[in-house]
Amino acid sequence: MSIVSDVLTVYLPAKRKTTPSGWTSFNAPCCVHNNENADTRGRGGVIYEGDVISYHCFNCGYKASWQPGRNLSYKFKKLLEWLNAPDADITKLALDVMRENEGVEVQQHRVELPEFATTQLPEGAEPLSKHQWAEAGHLDENIVRVFQYMLERNLSIEDTEYYWSPKLGYRDRIIIPFYYEGRIVGYTARTVGDNRVKYLTDSQPGFVFNLDEQRHNKVFTILCEGPIAALHIDGCALTGSDINDAQALLLNRLGKDIYVVPDRDRAGAKLVEQAIDRGWHVSMPDWDIGINDIGDAVAKYGRLYTLYSIANSAESSPLKIRLRAKKWFT
């Protein structure tokens, strides 16, 4: 037996039974946290295979496991929390496991709120909303292409301040500043032509795009991969397909439900699993084949219907999310 199994046994429901196959079954505590009815049929089960511990809910599909040499996972900690283990006990257990794994004293791991330094946009960058671009009597053909791209993508200079630079390397790009607490802390420059390098990005670790615009009266925040998609629906973007702890901290501090909308590709499938691990909602609306991201949806259905379809399709049950993902990614 291990310290993990000892603690888990303490908080397992008193009403439980052992099946002939070795499972300890009880009413699963996870279902009500995954948008399912409370389990009353003993669909939760724990099995011990040597020192390996596995939990599986045969109702909502929630899984968590632990084995020697590994630290407690997010899912295993959530299981203990749902079994009414005090936070102090869970934290102590996690630290004890870390000590056993490393063989040395460890300090409690804390995710610090990230700090972002103020940065500069590319040389010569000016807002597209400024009128001097046409004062010389003609528009640079590159800036014309930028405006054409914005028109095709339903982007408006009234929604956010886009920039353009006449300098080499940026003249065929639309520049989107990254703001944090009102300061520019980075940018992405998206090509509007045939450049093989689609994005030139200056981003600091832990940054979440458009966080400043998440108003207090919003019930939920939509999270996607790219800034342009986020601007379409006034959501946030990771500027990638991985969620790190600092980004999760910033998003959770909003105090809102997080609705993750993945792109329909391999990176999006990875993002779905990360969202499940964070306990966030995932939305994969019933969009037509060929609609691969939020930008495509806005172009075909319009902004309001896209927002409605995202909100109406948000799901928190890991089982339902994974079932939906099988259709979404085919």
Spell out the SS3 assignment of 234-292: CCEECCCCCCCHHHHHHHHCCCCEEEECCCCCHHHHHHHHHHHHHCCEEECCCCCCCCC
* Block mean pLDDT (10 aa), the chain, length 330: 89 91 92 87 91 89 87 91 93 89 54 89 91 63 91 86 93 96 96 90 94 86 95 92 88 92 92 89 95 94 96 92 91
Alpha-carbon separation of residue 156 from 161, 218, 319 (angstroms): 9, 22, 39
> CATH for 126-328, among 3.40.390.10, 1.10.260.40, 3.40.309.10, 3.40.1360.10?
3.40.1360.10
Cβ–Cβ under 8 Å, residues 21 and 48:
no
**What are the boundaries of each domain within the chain?**
3-102, 126-328
Alpha-carbon separation of residue 320 from 6, 63, 282, 314 (angstroms): 32, 13, 10, 10
Please choose, from the candidates 57, 51, 52, 64, the residue with its C-alpha nearest in 3D space to the C-alpha of residue 29. 57
Alpha-carbon separation of residue 75 from 62, 142, 262, 280 (angstroms): 9, 50, 21, 12
pLDDT of residue 176: 96
Structure tokens at 67: 């084995």
pLDDT of residue 105: 45
Beta strands 236-237 and 220-224: pairing type?
Answer: parallel
The overall pTM is greater than 0.95: no
Cβ–Cβ under 8 Å, residues 314 and 220:
yes
pLDDT of residue 106: 41
pLDDT of residue 112: 80
Give the end-to-end CA distance of the chain in Å, rounded to a whole number. Answer: 43
pLDDT of residue 244: 87
pLDDT of residue 107: 46
Residue-wise pLDDT for 201-227, tens only, equals: 999 999 999 999 997 778 899 999 999
Residue with tokens 């749902």: 82
